[in-house]
Amino acid sequence: DTGVSQDPRHKITKRGQNVTFRCDPISEHNRLYWYRQTLGQGPEFLTYFQNEAQLEKSRLLSDRFSAERPKGSFSTLEIQRTEQGDSAMYLCASSVKMGAGGYTFGSGTRLTVV
């Protein structure tokens, strides 16, 4: 198992464009989480899936953001009409349990909106 993969690693986009990020979790992990991290801050929870069901969304997740996890495997996070304030690192994590080592994080996608 190669861990949690995120693609792309970096994305530069013009304001107003749509972007989509992908996360491939560890295959046996049924829970998948998206976080946003801005410079010098801790990761902020955006949303999570248990299998294919999106069970919780943060207030940070405006209606320009949408996430999917079809068939309970990989997940996509789309941002429509990007704004400069969307510039951040978007982290994906997966887990099968709470506890020591229960969460595995991807390397993140760094989004820059110009």
For residues 20 and 109, the answer to whether their CB atoms sit within 8 Å is no
For residues 48 and 34, the answer to whether their CB atoms sit within 8 Å is yes
- Is position 43 an interface residue for another protein (rule: CB under 8 A)? yes
Place of tokens 């899936």: 49
Cα 52-58-62 angle, rounded to 5 deg? 95
Would you say 56 or 68 has its CB closer to another protein? Answer: 56
- Is position 44 an interface residue for another protein (rule: CB under 8 A)? yes
74 C-beta neighbours (distance < 10 Å), count: 16
- Is position 52 an interface residue for another protein (rule: CB under 8 A)? no
Q: Dig out the tokens for 75 from the structure.
A: 């997940």
- Is position 8 an interface residue for another protein (rule: CB under 8 A)? no
- Is position 36 an interface residue for another protein (rule: CB under 8 A)? no
In angstroms, the Cα distances linking 67 to 2, 22, 111 are 23, 10, 16
Q: Which of 42, 70, 71, 84 binds another protein (CB under 8 A)?
A: 42
Q: Which parts of 59-98 interact with another protein (CB under 8 A)?
A: 89, 91, 93, 95, 97-98
- Is position 39 an interface residue for another protein (rule: CB under 8 A)? no
Residues that bind another protein (CB under 8 A): 31, 33, 35, 40-45, 48, 50, 55-56, 89, 91, 93, 95, 97-103, 105, 107-108
